[in-house]
A and B are shown apart, each in its own frame.
Chain A
Amino acid sequence: MPNILVVEDSPTMRQLISFAMKRIPNAVVIEATDGVDALKKLSSDIKIDLILADINMPVMDGLKLVSLVRGNPSFKDIPIIMVTTEGAEEDRKRAIAIGANAYLPKPIQTQELLKLVTTFLSDKSK
């Protein structure tokens, strides 16, 4: 049963991504509204298998969240997919350099997102 943490300040995007994740068998979506909220959810008892995070968020942005997750030995191996409006190549390179595993610019294609999530989840379960 994979636990997917969706970190998004936009309720519309949170709902849309959660809706898409229903297509992944037995997936459980945990929602967070910003980086700080995401860190709280990561520290809870629920073991997170994958993180989908926006970049532009209040309180703590997605890039800061990625660097903190990668710096924590307990979470450093969790795959992180950035879902963001920042579509420039330098933004993608920066996110990957910090530790994101994949970068998906908005508006997202649900099929593409599902493919990425499925790939990372199956890689993790191997």
Chain B
Amino acid sequence: MEKDTGYTSKADEFLQMFKKGEEFTKEILKENEKLRYRIVELEGSLEKSGDNARTRLYEDRIKLLEEELNSLKEKFKEVAEENKDFATKYLEVEEENNNLANLYVASYQLHSTLDFSEVLRIVLEIVINLIGAEKFSIILIDDKTNELVPVATEGMAIADAPKVKIGEGIIGKVAREGESFFAENLMKAGEYNPFEPIVCIPLKIKEHVIGVLSIYKLFTQKAGFSNVDYELFNLLAGHAATAIFSSRLYTQSERKLTTIQSFLDLLKDKPKK
């Protein structure tokens, strides 16, 4: 009996312990659950805060890239504008080059000879080919008569080119004043009047006028004058005048030299008495 009582108290004690163990386990499980929940909660918040940071980072990057894109767009616009400028300048330089080549060739040809008739031919060539005149005359001042006398023509007979007194009409006025004349209507229809040129350019050595270039008609394809034409007129006014004047002097002195030489030869050959 005493033995039975001992067993019962031990079983109670065990049961008590078991119950305590059960309670403790329950408590631990509860605590564990709480901790798990907290972990999930913390993990969630951590993930959330990571996303925000990443979003902020991406936003910053996008902002930076957008700024860069805008600045590149701006630069591209500037470069395109610059390119456009360069293209325009290139065309201008090309045109200027071509004009200079025309002027160079004209000037080179004008001073390539000292033969008077050759110089006149070159002036005619320049006016035909580089300016595009169909009907014109070169008229020089005769110092003895003080008259303007035609020496070369194109598209018209030399007899049809007028002799003009200095100061008379458009041609005479240009010769007196040394200022170029350009008619308002360059494409005059109908018959030309030899006293009314559409363009009249004085041929000058410094301020001294030696003659004029008188244009009556341009080629049908020549609608008007460009910058290079005015440059050519300026070149002709100066260089053609010098070339004409010096070649005329040279031809005259050559002629005189030949006459003197012939005279000397004649004297040498004269039989002695």
Contact = CB atoms under 8 A, between A and B. Distances in A.
Interface of A: 10-13, 15-16, 19-20, 85, 87-88, 105-107, 109-111
A106 B109 contact: no
A26 B132 CA distance: 30
Contact of A20 (B101, B109, B134, B220): B101
B94 A106 contact: no
Nearest 9 pairs between A and B by C-beta? A87-B221, A110-B98, A107-B132, A105-B221, A12-B125, A16-B105, A12-B109, A10-B125, A15-B105
The number of chain B residues touching the other chain, given as a range, is 20 to 34
Give the secondary structure class of B's interface.
helix
B222 interface: yes
Contacts of A111: 94-95, 98
B128 A16 contact: no
B239 to A, nearest CB: 13
A11 B128 CA distance: 13
B219 A105 contact: yes
A13 B129 contact: yes
Contacts of B219: 85, 87, 105-106
Contact of A106 (B101, B104, B128): B128
B220 A19 contact: no
12 contacts: A11-B109, A13-B125, A15-B109, A16-B105, A16-B129, A16-B130, A85-B128, A105-B219, A106-B129, A106-B219, A107-B131, A110-B98
